[in-house]
Structure 1
């Protein structure tokens, strides 16, 4: 699998006491407009724009569908080629504390990591200041790529490959423990699901990872997804502490809802291993690009 991506960890220091535990989750409401400002784009639409291939905006936000009718049937609509891992605000008093926000940039989006760092800094400038930005590798080692004064170290950017990720991470046995650390929403027949089996979980990963690989990695994944889906029904849930959760965010009337908690699955995990690993970086479900649907597998590198 030739899919590549990078993970940038951005450290922010709170400039004042913040009461809203979910203040950083307002990112989705403003990020696109801030990104336009950061690249000096004065347009509200790409229609008729003369910048063409010189502009990075369409490649990141357009979510253009394939012209191949077979691909349209095979892959879900492309998601955005970035994924934020958004932190919770520490308990009060928290002025002066630091938090870490990560962004995973997939395929060619990794070329524009500076824009993402600057945008995060701009979005939260009212209450948090950028301390540093670091590139993380397979084992969690970090390399400074932007300091507090804005100095850049471009040669330290670490690029993941999906294949090497598997080779560098601890292999899983017949049982895995998964913790959903932000609300995940998956739909069935137009309704948000209130419970999750392994089959539901892994099939959502199949759709998401294969679509990202195709649209942003130029890779057609050579897997028999029908057979994998059938095998997923043999994996059992041996323990579950999942529950429907609602977070009330700062935006009036807004809520972050979904399934959260810990669960454990038992069965033949080897065949699902590539997807389970990538999902820790890519999240799953509605709003995955902006922090929802993040999970961790215990004892596995991330």
Structure 2
């Protein structure tokens, strides 16, 4: 496995002083940052939690988006989540996009940096979706090459998110969990476990979400995502779940999340809500529900120091 943290060259800003405070993120629940919530967040004062932003919304040089994010970052940890890198695509990564991504990492010093196991570009066309890929040795080599390029460029490991899928490929030669585990071992990247994606894919393809989680390389997980999903029907009239991020986390997803935290401990957890965005107190309440689960298991995980000697 490539040791990113020791073999990687320092990023251009490595010797510069930090612009923002280094704030802990372990054991915290956070939410997506939406600009319409800024005034309510500021009125609440410093949060116990963190905020995640989509990198592509901040790739301009300045303006209101950056002023808002700087205000948030001054008091809170931030997670940077990319959605357009096309790590699973067949063509080389877009160097200009990757450079803009690196600049954001340097500018905001996020606690976590993540991207998707998906592709979204074909030649010069950008497809506004996160598309699946076959799990083959050829795909594995290409994804690993792309992840290593990203990590070398930004000077730190990233977290790779498991997808929600609606089709599978006959040419796949390994399971999704084996594919993801191989990526983590080869590149040294961490993993972002999206529990809602697991539930959506398990429902759509008829496999056990619990079996998937048992096979998933949980030791490599550095962040968890939770989100709402929509229910539709496919052409055969069967239930089809869509990873829509437009509502509260469903009860079965909360149950899976509790199982994961019981196994892994208090991993930073993010509530995604990207459309039909509610008022801030509603979104905040979802994060507080996740925080309650984290706190319960964190208190269990803490060693008993009552008899420790000075």
The answer, yes or no, to whether TM exceeds 0.5 is no
With CA pairs under 8 Å and 6+ residues apart, which has the higher RCO, 1 or 2? Answer: 1
Higher share in helix: 2
Higher share in strand: 1
